[in-house]
Amino acid sequence: MKKACRWHSASFVHGNADELVKDGKRVDMRMFNGYNYIELCLLSLAMVDASVQIGDVLTLKWGEANYTAKTSIEPHRQASWKTA
């Protein structure tokens, strides 16, 4: 099944809820999300803490942790992936 994504080009009220975690500590500042048509993938751009080294294993968390009353968020479960 395919799902359409509607991306807001600017959100001045709140950012999206993805974050990078290393050893239980948040190590990024989320900047922007988008779709790369050439690579055919979704991207999430963030700045990471200077303590993060190439090859460190991080956890990417996507989505709201708990139920939210925000009308712009459809119901979902928070997901996480290990990165390297």
Q: Is the pLDDT reported for residue 34 higher than 60?
A: yes
Structure tokens at 73: 């968020």
CB atoms within 10 A of CB 23: 10
Whole-model pTM? 0.61
Minimal CA–CA distance to 15: which of 54, 82, 72?
72
pLDDT tens column, 4-29: 666 554 454 555 667 889 998 999 87
